[in-house]
Every structure is written in C-alpha cells, then in structure tokens.
Chain A
C-alpha cells in the first residue's frame, strides 16, 4: 500500500515537472532571413489592429523572496495608442496616444507632451514595432526575432537613453497560430525580472478612441 502511494506521488511529481518543462522550455530558433521576419511582423500587425486583455504582472526580487503581483487591463490600438490600467494593489493609469501621455495616480493627473521626450519616443517605437509589426533595427533598439514550435519571441535590446540605463532586455511572446500576445518580460540592469502575462486576450475587437483620451 505504502509502495503504491510512493509510486503515485512520484508519478504526480513527474507529471508536474514534465508539464512545467513543456510550458517553459520551448526551443526557439533565430529568424535570420529579413524577408521572413518582415512576413511574421506583417502577420502580427494584421492580427493586432486592437488588443484588449487583462494582465497579471509578477515581479521577482531576490531580497524580498515574495513574488509581487499586480493586476490590470491592457488596451492597444494601431498605430500606437496604449492604455495600461493597474487596478491592484493600487490604481494607476497610463495612457499614451497621439504623441501625448496621461498618468493618473489616485486623484492626481499628470499630462505629458511627448514632443522632445526621448523616453516617450522610445516607448512608442517599441509599441509600434512589436505590437504594430513595424519592427526594424534602429539606433534606440536592436531586436532579434525567434520562432518556436508554438510561439514567436521578440527580444529587444535598448541601445540609448534612460531605457538602456534601466533595462537590459525586453522580451515579447506571441502565439504563432492565434498571434495573440502572451507575455512581456522586462529584464532589468539590477538583475530583477518583471513578467506581464496577458489573459482573456481579444484581438481586433472594436475599441472606442475615447479610452485613449489624454486630457
């Protein structure tokens, strides 16, 4: 009886490990052909005129031991309108559209005109590049596109400005078949890792421009 129990536990442990491996150990190969990369980005662009998703953000800091979790809503509309709304553990809203930015933190609203802001244009470049399928190497970012059995992976390496000081790499994962955004991982220079996982992703559903209002 005891032996059967041990075997059952071992089988369960093995299944869990196998399942985890399947989720995390997707093998990717670098797409070296620029034509193929262009085709993939074109596919992504056509599938993501709009993205409407919930997100769970997990930050891992060695010293804290705990994984810090935040939740919220992510909205994107071509060409580069973005709304990132944190609802937990505290409310925080960032809207970027038409070269302007709105930050709402509790009752406090901050409006930023993106003209002349290096960081703003860098973030817009990333949005347009990865989500909008307009990725090309430029002086702000180098990119690498990978394909796996089920997903595409885009690795971005900041080259200039404040983003380079903060981030070593940003990684986006997209499902190859549905072209749905799955996750975004930020690897910081400090060694910390923040992963934003997208849930309930709806692609190409109408999103009212009003949600991207920056006033």
Chain B
C-alpha cells in the first residue's frame, strides 16, 4: 500500500512539476560552441573547499560536512563526513564520470549513489569550458548556456561566467526535474529535486 501511495505521490509531483521557460529578454547568440562556465563550486588544483551540508528528504533530515578537493586537475574528490568526523562518502568526479571510492554500508545503494553523484556533479567541476548546444545573452551581458543530452541543462551565468542558477529538465520537454541556486545572500547553495522530495543545502565554511 505504502509503495502505491509513494508511486502516486511521485506521479503527482511529476505532473505538477513547474515548467521552465527562457526569459524573453535573452537572445540566441551561438550554437554548438565551446563556452566558459564557472560552476558554483570551482576548486583550484590542490586546494580544498568546505561546506556545511544538510539534506532534507521525505521528512527526514541529516547534516554533515562536504569537502571538495581538486586532486590532479583532472579529477575532483568529494568527501561527505558527519560533524563528528566520520567519513560517510568519498566520490571522484572526472570527465569519465563519477566513481565511488568509499561509501558506508547505509549509502551503498545504486540509486542513492547515482543521485549524490548527479547532484555534486551539477554544482561542482574541474573543467571551465563546456560544449554548449546554445548560448543566449541578454542586454546586461548575462548568459544562459544550454546543454542538450540525456537531460537538458540551462546554466544561468553572470558577466564573469559565474553560475547563478542551473535548471535541469526532461529532454525536449521543459518540466523542471532539478534546480540548483544560491540562497540567503549567496552564502548557501541549494540543490532541489522537483520530481521527488529531496533538497540539499551547502553553506561555505572557512577552516582554521
């Protein structure tokens, strides 16, 4: 019974998903071109960025600390630990994709690992240039970089190519599946799924 209710809920949420429409003041500038793109979490070689991280999903809440480390300039390591220091997850993001270096038993679920790989990959990168399907620009010089593929991605950037917002939709359709944006005066990053109840918030920390 619970399973059916869950399926109905997911179905309803999917049906109710908000549609993404490009703002009318943006004009198509180029197609199939390389485009500089600075994702939310951009880590220079050998440096480390740290975020207090909380996850809210289906009424459950837990938090910890995420570390992003650019290890070889070709790969990014993403570590998630509890506040008390226990490592729960260690991922490697590279051009080849995402691989799990370590996950505690409770996280060793292909669906969960795929979701976490996807979400961390959406906001962090080692590459500064992507192959864009389309680039739209407005009169203020702001860009929307569109990448079409298994999912359609809309990266909203400012004049410095810094990411303001990312929208992920079903290919060809404009129903929003995932979005990532800045919150609370840019101090927090949010990744939110529209087709199921999942929200991850990352707040930048300064280490001693």
Contact = CB atoms under 8 A, between A and B. Distances in A.
A108 B207 CA distance: 22
Contact of B65 (A84, A90, A106): A90
Contacts of B207: 66, 68-69, 89
Interface of B is mostly: strand
A66 B47 CA distance: 10
Interface string A60-88: 01011110111100000000000010101
Interface residues of B, number: 29
Contacts of B166: none
Interface of A is mostly: strand
Nearest to B205: A89
Nearest to B86: A166
B175 interface: no
Contacts of B79: 61, 63-64
Interface in B183-208: 203, 205-208
Interface string A81-114: 0001010111010100000000001101010000
Nearest to A56: B208
A183 interface: no
Interface in B54-104: 54, 61, 63, 65, 67, 69, 71, 77, 79, 81, 83-87, 90, 102, 104
A61 B87 CA distance: 9
B208 A89 contact: yes
Contacts of A90: 52, 65, 83, 203, 205
Contact of B208 (A84, A88, A106): A88
Interface of B: 46, 48, 50, 52, 54, 61, 63, 65, 67, 69, 71, 77, 79, 81, 83-87, 90, 102, 104-106, 203, 205-208
Interface of A: 57, 59, 61, 63-66, 68-71, 84, 86, 88-90, 92, 94, 105-106, 108, 110, 162, 165-167, 186, 188, 190, 192, 194
